[in-house]
Amino acid sequence: MQVDNLDEVLKDVLHQQVREESFCLEGLEERIATEMAGRLPKAGPFDLFKRLLAPTHGARLAQLAVITATAAIFLVVGIFLGDRLPQFHPLPGSPGTETAAGRGESEVLFVMPAPGAHSVTVVGNFNDWEATPLSDENGDGIWTASIPLPPGRYEYAFVVDGRWWGQDPLADEYVRSFGEYNSVRYVGQVGDGA
């Protein structure tokens, strides 16, 4: 046999084997799909719970919409009821309300260390959440204001260069309101931070 002839013979033999075995390729895709489907894990009792914890993109948007709507409702109700809820204000002349000055008020010192700040104010239920400026007369970064207040419980926060700062280290306690912290100071009572 010659080399040229050997190539032709090999080629013919390979073509004939492919034609003889080509029937095996028929339906191969369906056989593979059927076999793979049999290997997939079956849905268990916790699959729905897993899908709730890791929902699709659309479900996440729906959850976010519900949370946003709920927050908006609470915000509107809070604003609506904020002015209508009773606040603690002792009656003038009640025992323990008079100071040496006879006015029933104590000077409460508010102190906020804020080096480099341009403006610091205090807001609270004692000033209807309107800004009362603090001053830094000697430029050392310690801002102060002395505000006369009658005995009671007061929620407040500092605003430093327009940013809310609700955790005063000198506060008697902290409360969380609308996602932000407010400081609480008791004046003329146990726990007086003045």
Domain boundaries, the chain: 24-85, 106-187
91 vs 97: CA distance, rounded Å: 8
Q: What are 147's strand-pairing partners?
A: 108
Tokens of 64: 């976010």
3-state secondary structure of 45: coil
Find, among 113, 170, 169, the residue nearest to 139 by Cα. 113
- Considering only residues 106 and 59, tell me which one the structure prediction assigns the higher pLDDT: 106
For 106-187, give the CATH class: mainly beta
- Considering only residues 115 and 1, tell me which one the structure prediction assigns the higher pLDDT: 115
pTM: 0.45
Confidence of residue 150 (pLDDT cuts 50, 70, 90): very high
For β-strands 173-177 and 106-113, DSSP reports them as: unpaired
3-state secondary structure of 65: helix
3-state secondary structure 150-168: CCEEEEEEEEECCEEECCC
For the ranges 55-69, 114-128, 134-148, the lowest mean pLDDT is seen at 55-69
Phi, psi (rounded to 5 degrees) for 146: -110, 120
pLDDT mean over 117-124? 92
pLDDT mean over 98-127? 81
For the ranges 4-8, 83-87, 137-141, 152-156, the lowest mean pLDDT is seen at 83-87
Assess contact for 185 and 156: CB atoms under 8 A: yes
- Considering only residues 152 and 5, tell me which one the structure prediction assigns the higher pLDDT: 152
